[in-house]
A and B are shown apart, each in its own frame.
Chain A
Amino acid sequence: MAIKKFAVAAYDDEAVLFPAVSKVRHSGYKLHDIYTPFAVHGLDVAMGHKDTDLHIAGFIYGMCGTSTAVGFISWIYCSDWLQNYGGKPHFALPAWIPVTFELTVLFAAVGMVLTFCYLNQIMPGVKKHVFHPRQSDDMFVVALELNDHVSEQEVIKFLQSTGAKETSIQKAEASWWYGRWDKKEEYEALNA
């Protein structure tokens, strides 16, 4: 557990959010993250994130599926258990296309979803701090990480100047932990 101090600003419109993100990035404050209720296109670029490589992982998983299918079936038919179906060749590739295709898709999909969960650090039983109860509803929430040298009043004043509807200072766990969502965490008392 690493409890840190955050300045939190909640915006109610993407049109206000984008210029605000630009101002935050040029202000010198440390941008922790931005939480949105849905995929806001261009926000990753505005924050300076690189594009994800998840699809490349998906391609690799798919190739694993292809080679598993072709390797396994050809091992069975050409080496492990030879069978003669009406004199047809043992290595009957066209007949294996359906199974090969299905395993390609299966490996790619399962592998990508597991990678997605790993990269996002999500799993049943995982708990993370929610900065604003409406960040999954209609608020776009920007969290800035503060150190002891930053004046709280100044950062709040700055966030309000960017058009934030609500602002607050919160102490919170920065990462994830195992926990139940119906239980209050100890650190939450610090915010009261």
Chain B
Amino acid sequence: MHIKYESFVREPLVDGNKDYHQVSEDIISPIERKPGRMWYVGFFFALCLLAFGIFSVSWSVYWGLGTWGVNRTIGWGWDITNFVWWVGIGHAGTLISAILLLFRQGWRTGVNRAAEAMTIFAVMCAGQFPIWHMGRVWDAMWVLPLPNSRGPLWPNFDSPLLWDVFAISTYFTVSLLFWYSGLIPDFALIRDRAKTNFRKMMYGLTSFGWTGTAKNWQRHEALSLVLAGLSTPLVLSVHTIVSFDFATSVIPGWHTTIFPPYFVAGAVFSGFAMVNTLLVITRKILHLEEYITIGHLEAMNKVIVLTGSIVGIAYLTELFISWYSQSWGEMAAFQWRILGPYWWSYWAMMTCNVVSPQLFWVKKLRRNIPFTFVMSIVVNIGMWFERFVIIVTSTYRDWVPGSWAYYSPTWPEVGFYLGTFGLFFTCYFLFAKYFPVIAVAEIKFVLKTSGDNYKRAMAPLEEKTGEAFVELVNSHHHEDEHAAVAHH
């Protein structure tokens, strides 16, 4: 007999009166129903955006990158801004699934599946930008060390841009494997309860023939734990390496050692905001409020206020160091950032990332769903401006005043960005329809310790004194031993 006990101080992770079967019903039945009208409208809208994105990219490739607003002074514009923005968003999923697994944060079980899916789709979007930014995309495969007849000539392994190729592709692959290995048992659940032949066939294929023997689960746990251990430094390395794209250069505003931690904090910040944006809607439409509770949203808002504050400190540190360096190049770069022709982007960044998230210190606001939703979007606007500020306002006034320039995007650049929203939401809508958006097996694993009804059944225990409680637990242990001895 095991006593499953968790203190009342911790909120239940699953609300309502649930047993294992009810958990399966609640999470799987939306997959077995026809989607609602909102799903079709949203999916169609996402497809339209995707089509417009494909058109914009085709236009850019056909006519060349001269169709974009970038010029010889400002070589990176919306494209790399969007790349960094999407990669940053793609950090929350693996952070939730890996780092919070290692830290034994039970609340991750409610949100990890959707957050990991979001990560994978966001990295897919991010990857588009450097590829199409190459201009001659038919040469894109030469970023890989492929044998060739020119020497062979290999890529430059000392270059941060090449490190990025390896970082992003590894991150995508490992996140995908992590996500899919968790999905296999849940696909098996859908397969076993499927009523239609088509569903049996499809989920039979995607579940790889999983049956859930004790040995299967033992290996599954080992795999999850090691993948979490690998993903934890991986997720930190990815945005560190993205920040190297800037930090290893000698451009004022980029050449700072604070970039790696500052980028990682910013990535977690924007990633959690995007998770909130998606989950506030998903939980409502799929009626999963009992699994993605206000407690879950509050936990994420706490991470947002923490990482937002780290980002804020980083901004101020940058300003201080530029003054402390007494290097006129550094000082001018930051002065122009704040007061130059792009002042509005700097102040948009400061307001959205540093000032407004501080409201989350108020508990009422952290637990307020409309406020959480609005704030999640505000944060992502702010984080987009952060990347724009770093990229454009560090380069637009370079060492030769005669080549100072201004940059505005053209329609193919905007179309490309909108297109990645199309790609992202097309994938997310398909995910929400055909995949279990919550990890069913993991919820069942925590149900008896953290489910509302099971916690309430423990109420009499809470009344007891500490000594009485320990005695009770010990007596149960003894029973266990007696039972074992009796069988021998």
Task: Please report the total number of A residues contacting B with Cβ < 8 Å.
Answer: 71
Q: For chains A and B in complex, what number of residue pairs have CB atoms within 8 angstroms?
A: 209
Q: Does chain B have a CB within 8 A of A28?
A: no
Q: Are A37 and B441 in contact (CB under 8 A)?
A: yes
Give the CA-CA distance A81 to B151 in the complex, in Å: 8
Q: Are A122 and B214 in contact (CB under 8 A)?
A: no
A30 to chain B, nearest CB (A): 15
Give the CA-CA distance A3 to B191 in the complex, in Å: 23
Q: Does chain B have a CB within 8 A of A133?
A: yes
B339 partner residues in chain A, CB cutoff 8 A: none
Q: Does chain A have a CB within 8 A of B26?
A: no
Give the CA-CA distance A103 to B223 in the complex, in Å: 18
- Decide yes or no: A108 and B230 within 8 Å by CB, A44-B218, A122-B210 being known contacts: yes
Chain A proximity mask over B124-162: 1 for CB below 8 Å, otherwise 0 = 000000000000000000000100000111100110101
Q: Does chain A have a CB within 8 A of B382?
A: no
Q: Are A39 and B204 in contact (CB under 8 A)?
A: no
Among B163, B205, B440, the residue within 8 A (CB) of A99 is: B163
Q: Are A81 and B181 in contact (CB under 8 A)?
A: no
Q: Are B214 and A123 in contact (CB under 8 A)?
A: no
B482 to chain A, nearest CB (A): 11
Q: Does chain A have a CB within 8 A of B487?
A: yes
B357 to chain A, nearest CB (A): 31
Q: Are B212 and A35 in contact (CB under 8 A)?
A: yes
Q: Does chain A have a CB within 8 A of B100?
A: no
- Decide yes or no: A26 and B217 within 8 Å by CB, A99-B162, A117-B208, A137-B189 being known contacts: no
Q: Are B201 and A136 in contact (CB under 8 A)?
A: no
Q: Are A54 and B2 in contact (CB under 8 A)?
A: no
- Decide yes or no: A124 and B217 within 8 Å by CB, A73-B157, A108-B230, A138-B21 being known contacts: no
Q: Does chain A have a CB within 8 A of B226?
A: yes
Chain B binder among A45-53, A145-153, A163-171: A45-53
- Decide yes or no: A102 and B166 within 8 Å by CB, A134-B192, A135-B212, A137-B24 being known contacts: yes
B162 partner residues in chain A, CB cutoff 8 A: 99
B198 nearest CB neighbor, chain A only: A182
Chain A proximity mask over B459-488: 1 for CB below 8 Å, otherwise 0 = 000000000000000000000000110011
B20 partner residues in chain A, CB cutoff 8 A: 37, 137-138
- Decide yes or no: A124 and B170 within 8 Å by CB, A26-B487, A38-B444, A112-B223 being known contacts: no
Q: Are A54 and B223 in contact (CB under 8 A)?
A: yes
Give the CA-CA distance A181 to B195 in the complex, in Å: 12
A49 partner residues in chain B, CB cutoff 8 A: 214-215, 218
Among A34, A109, A128, A182, the residue within 8 A (CB) of B200 is: A182
Give the CA-CA distance A163 to B62 in the complex, in Å: 71
A19 to chain B, nearest CB (A): 6
B196 to chain A, nearest CB (A): 8
A43 to chain B, nearest CB (A): 5
Q: Are A182 and B201 in contact (CB under 8 A)?
A: yes
A103 nearest CB neighbor, chain B only: B166
Q: Are B214 and A44 in contact (CB under 8 A)?
A: yes
Q: Which residues of chain A from 130 to 144 have a CB within 8 Å of any chain B CB? A: 130, 133-138
Among A51, A95, A136, A137, the residue within 8 A (CB) of B158 is: A95
Give the CA-CA distance A33 to B217 in the complex, in Å: 12
Q: Are A113 and B181 in contact (CB under 8 A)?
A: yes
A130 partner residues in chain B, CB cutoff 8 A: 192, 211
B187 nearest CB neighbor, chain A only: A136
Q: Are A34 and B151 in contact (CB under 8 A)?
A: no
A65 nearest CB neighbor, chain B only: B170
Chain A residues within 8 Å of B, Cβ to Cβ: 14-15, 18-19, 22-23, 26, 33-40, 43-44, 47, 49, 51-52, 54-55, 58, 62, 72-73, 76-77, 80-81, 85, 92, 95-96, 98-99, 101-103, 105-106, 108-110, 112-113, 116-117, 119-130, 133-138, 176, 180-182
Chain B residues within 8 Å of A, Cβ to Cβ: 1-2, 19-21, 24, 145, 151-154, 157-158, 160, 162-163, 166-167, 170, 173-174, 177-178, 181, 184-185, 188-189, 191-193, 197-198, 200-201, 203-206, 208-223, 225-227, 230-231, 233-234, 237, 241, 244, 440-442, 444-445, 483-484, 487-488
